[in-house]
Amino acid sequence: MPNQTPPPPVPKLNPEWIKQAKAEFDDFLQATHFPEPVRNGIRGSTFAYPESLIMFIAVLSVKAKVKRYQGIHRLVVQYWELLTPTPHLAPISETQLRERLKKIRHSPRKPAGFIFQIFPAAELE
C-alpha cells in the first residue's frame, strides 16, 4: 500500500461566505442607521478599528465555533484581508480584540445577543 498524504485541511469558513455575510451585515447596519461610536481621543486613543468590525468578528467566531479569545484572534489574522475596512490597517492585537469583544458582551462560550437577531442560528451552523 503506497504512502498516501492526507488531503489539505479545508477552512471552516468559506471566504465567499465571509464576503457575503459582511456585505449583508454592513447593509443591515446602514439600513438601521447604526451609530458608529467615535472616540475623540480626550480620555483615550481614538478607535482605529470600527465597532461594526468588532461586531462582525463576533459573528465569525460563532460561525467558526471558536472557544477561546486566542482562537478568535488567530481567525481574525487568518481572514484579515477580507475583514479590514482599509487595506493599510494592521490586524488588531489580541489584547485589544479581547477588551473590545468584552465591551460588546461577547465571550467565546456565550455569544452576544445581537448575533442571533441579525443572523438566523441555522445560517451560523
Asked if 26 and 52 count as a contact pair (C-beta separation under 8 A), the reply is yes
Whether 1 shows a pLDDT value over 70: the answer reads: no
List the beta bridge partners of residue 116.
Answer: none
* 7-14 average pLDDT score: 61
Domain span at residue 63? 15-30+49-124
Residue 7 falls in which region: left (phi positive, over 0), alpha (psi -120 to 50) or beta: beta
Q: Is the pLDDT of residue 34 over 80?
A: yes
38 occurs within a structural domain: no
Residue 115 placed within a domain: yes
Report, as an integer, the average pLDDT of 21-38. 84
- Residue 61 in domain: yes
Looking at the 3D structure of the chain, how many domains does it have?
1
- pLDDT band, very low/low/confident/very high, at 9 (cuts 50, 70, 90): low
**Locate cell 470600527: which residue?**
50
Is 88 part of any domain?
Answer: yes
Q: What's the whole-number mean pLDDT along residues 56-63?
A: 90
